[in-house]
Amino acid sequence: MSAISFKHLTKNYGSLFALNDVSLDIEEGEFFGLLGPNGAGKTTLISILAGLCRPSAGSVEVMGHDVQTDFRAARRLLGIVPQELVFDPFFTVRETLQFQSGYFGIKNNGDWIDEILHHLGLADKANKNMRALSGGMKRRVLVAQALVHRPPVIVLDEPTAGVDVELRQSLWKFISRLNQEGHTIVLTTHYLEEAQELCGRIAMLKKGQIVALDTTANLLARVNNSQTKDGDL
Ligand code: ATP
């Protein structure tokens, strides 16, 4: 079974097609990269997956559960790290994670929360108010929040935009470990270098369509080839 299956997904705003008939299967256990320039449709794809936005046509399944018709089951399987830093500023870091655990009906999640905080370098911030954290620290909390219910599929929407090298490295070490333990990881990024370091397979999105889908090694060979020929992918 695929971890995520996008089926003929279209999203249009009038004549603008943010997504145009996108079909894509991401298999269980993959570290998958969604690459594309500004406006390519990456966030729209993730928003539909997260149930935040309705497709104009097509459907998405998470491990066989349709996001439109079986949302709670699909959402339970997904850990989503969005781009926006939205928190209750008066919650502490720990309260933020406990609140998120509560959403999924999980009680007594303290040990797992401590482990996440430790791996994300947030242990000493556990009792700080969210409003007192730096942008990079808030981004770490976003990742922690996505993991509280131990989702088998983790989706990160440009998680390293504007964060320092140290966080990048600790974040990727932790996410790679989760992937080795069997979690499916989907990462959106603008950067081929970032995707090539981490992802086994990459889809390139452009103007709402998949223009390339291949293993990272094959895609890099095509990029190098097209650069020498000065062509497009
Ligand atoms: P970025 O890398 O800049 O985050 P992206 O690949 O995530 O870009 P999307 O945010 O999915 O791209 O946007 C795809 C297209 O859909 C863009 O042209 C964008 O302007 C358009 N779009 C997105 N949301 C809306 C909306 N609510 N109303 C109108 N157009 C929208």
pLDDT tens figures, 82-107: 888 889 999 999 999 999 999 999 99
- Who has greater pLDDT, 174 or 80? 80
The CB of 40 under 6 Å from ligand 1? The reply is yes
Which ipTM was obtained for this model? 0.95
Q: What is the DSSP string of the chain?
A: -EEEEEEEEEEEETTEEEEEEEEEEEETT-EEEEE--TTSSHHHHHHHHTTSS--SEEEEEETTEETTTSHHHHHHTEEEE-SS----TTSBHHHHHHHHHHHTT----HHHHHHHHHHTT-GGGTTSBGGGS-HHHHHHHHHHHHHTT--SEEEEESTTTT--HHHHHHHHHHHHHHHHTT-EEEEEES-HHHHHHH-SEEEEEETTEEEEEEEHHHHHHHHHHHHHHT---
- The yes-or-no verdict on residue 137 having pLDDT over 70 is yes
Residue pointed to by tokens 């990048």: 168
Mean of per-residue pLDDT scores for the chain = 91
- Who has greater pLDDT, 113 or 219? 113
User: Which residue has the CA at smallest separation from atom 22 of ligand 1?
Assistant: 18
Q: How far is the CA of 41 from the centre of ligand 1 (A)?
A: 6
- The yes-or-no verdict on residue 228 having pLDDT over 80 is no
pTM for this entry = 0.90
The CB of 39 under 6 Å from ligand 1? The reply is yes
pLDDT band at 230 (very low <50, low <70, confident <90, very high): low
pLDDT for the residue numbered 229: 61
